[in-house]
Amino acid sequence: MRIALLEDDTDQASLLIHWLSEAGHQCTHYTESKPFVRSLTRDSFDLLILDWMVPEMNGLEVLQWVRANLDWPVLVLFVTQKEAEADIVEALEAGADDYMTKPVKQMEMYARVNALARRAGMHDEKQALIDVDPYCIDTGAHTVTVEGEPVKLTQKEYELVAFLFKNIGRVVSRRHLLESVWGTNPDINTRTIDTHMSRIRTKLGINPERGWRLSSIYQHGYRLEQLSQAPSE
């Protein structure tokens, strides 16, 4: 997962980043709340890990901002020294998905992060077939069909389609897309993403008539949505 960590204790942050990296996650660290919040207006993450006692806005205020301003689902895990029952209840009622108290245990951290991903219905990397009418993505064979008919895609187009269908309903930033599909190639720019999105929309026939929408989110990225139902004929 792509994780944003808000933690002003650099030693604690280094430990968590080490653990999460070992588990295959990508972690971006922030020591202050305002830069953290600003990043959420232009980038996307699968999970936010928040300390409560941080400079500027505290962790609870950050959580309240997230739930009030982001209109797409993002997981939030508190990792903090505040262990009173009232604090835990307050954070969970404000929208936190889970709560851990310091000192954090490595295996418990792994288990809770994995449990959050499962609860949110995030894709399983071992999942071979994504079948959502009228689309079927076979991640083993690297093929895409629409209403049973194969669609001819370049390798990058296929990778982008697979990524989008593994993240249905979520806003994914251009930076997130670049890192996940193109890697860290500095020669790739965001216009490449826009071009590929246009081709995918056309090749797969993604439109409300089929019950789907691929939207550009201003100054942020893209979102693939399955509409409640396709318009009647």
CATH of the domain at 113: 3.40.50.2300
In this structure, is residue 233 part of a structural domain? Answer: no
d(C-alpha 113, C-alpha 1), whole Å:
9
| The total number of structural domains that make up the chain | 2
In this structure, is residue 124 part of a structural domain? Answer: no
- pLDDT-derived band at 233, boundaries 50, 70, 90: very low
3-class DSSP assignment, residue 113: helix
- pLDDT-derived band at 184, boundaries 50, 70, 90: low
CATH of the domain at 133: 1.10.10.10
pLDDT tens digits along 7-40 = 999 999 999 999 999 999 999 999 999 999 999 9
What pLDDT sits at residue 3? 96
- pLDDT-derived band at 137, boundaries 50, 70, 90: very high
